[in-house]
């Protein structure tokens, strides 16, 4: 049994849902109400002392950090290695894109939007520039490419798709970045679990309305 502690609106949680769908793993989903402090209960702290979501528990093995979970799911349950190939160079490129998502792209989203949504802070133009820079980088990575790392769908596409779809509901204009826009339209069609990802995006969109 694979237990999954999550919130449907969270990009990192949505990436895990798509990866699980891609490898055919059924998740036993457990909603955590962060506002009610459910992530701070003694029971959950025993599972994940860092008290973050998503958190996966696979027959007693607990793991958090979404991008680590994506790799674990493919390595343990993937019928093939296509989503995270064993070739060191292919894998290194995927890892680079995953770290880019975590440290640059998703980070720029969090730094700009979360203070506005959760602390009622004014928009920071400098933080917005970081978003634009991140999209410029992604646009460059995708020059002449259908996928973000290599020539087929990988966990890097899944992670970045979850992030970019959050930018869409935040009304960031993705269309200004032609390569990203083209990749995004294709990724929506070819990524397993996209429908559930989008349903989660619409949950998240309520914060922006």
Q: What mean pLDDT is predicted for residues 98-116?
A: 97
* DSSP secondary structure string for all residues of 75-109: HHH-SSSTTS-SSHHHHHHHHHHHHHIIIIIHHHH
Which CATH topology does 2-77 take? Glutaredoxin (3.40.30)
- Write a three-state SS string for 107-149: HHHHHHHHHHHHCCCCCCHHHHHHHHHHHHHHHHHCCCCCCCC
Which CATH topology does 88-206 take? Glutathione S-transferase Yfyf (Class Pi); Chain A, domain 2 (1.20.1050)
27-47 pLDDT, tens per residue?
A: 999 999 888 999 999 999 999
141-174 pLDDT, tens per residue?
A: 999 999 999 999 999 999 999 999 999 999 999 9
Q: For residues 83 and 78, give the distance between their C-alpha atoms in angstroms, rounded to a whole number.
A: 8
120-146 pLDDT, tens per residue?
A: 999 999 999 999 999 999 999 999 999
Considering only CA atoms, which of 31, 29, 16, 6 is closest in space to residue 193?
16
pLDDT at 22 over 90: yes
Residues of the chain within CATH 1.20.1050.10 domain(s) are 88-206
10 is catalytic: yes
Residues of the chain within CATH 3.40.30.10 domain(s) are 2-77
C-beta separation of 5 from 54 below 8 A:
yes
């Amino acid at each position: 049994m694979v237990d999954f502690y999550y919130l449907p609106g969270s990009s990192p949680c949505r990436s895990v849902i798509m990866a699980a769908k891609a490898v055919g793993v059924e998740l036993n989903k457990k909603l955590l109400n962060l506002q009610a402090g459910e992530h701070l209960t003694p029971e959950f702290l025993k599972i994940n002392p860092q008290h973050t979501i998503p958190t996966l528990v696979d027959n007693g093995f607990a793991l958090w950090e979404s991008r680590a979970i994506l790799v674990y799911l493919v390595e343990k349950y993937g019928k093939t290695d296509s989503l995270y190939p064993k070739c060191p160079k292919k894998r290194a490129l995927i890892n680079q894109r995953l770290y880019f998502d975590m440290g640059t792209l998703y980070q720029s989203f969090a730094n700009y939007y979360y203070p506005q949504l959760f602390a009622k802070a004014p928009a920071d133009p400098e933080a917005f520039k970081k978003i634009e820079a991140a999209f410029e980088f992604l646009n460059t990575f995708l020059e002449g490419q259908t996928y973000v790392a290599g020539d087929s769908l990988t966990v890097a596409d899944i992670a970045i798709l979850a992030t970019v779809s959050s930018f869409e509901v935040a009304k960031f204009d993705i269309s200004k970045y032609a390569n990203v826009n083209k990749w995004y339209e294709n990724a929506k069609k070819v990524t397993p679990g996209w429908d559930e990802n989008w349903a989660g995006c619409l949950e998240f969109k309520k914060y922006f309305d």
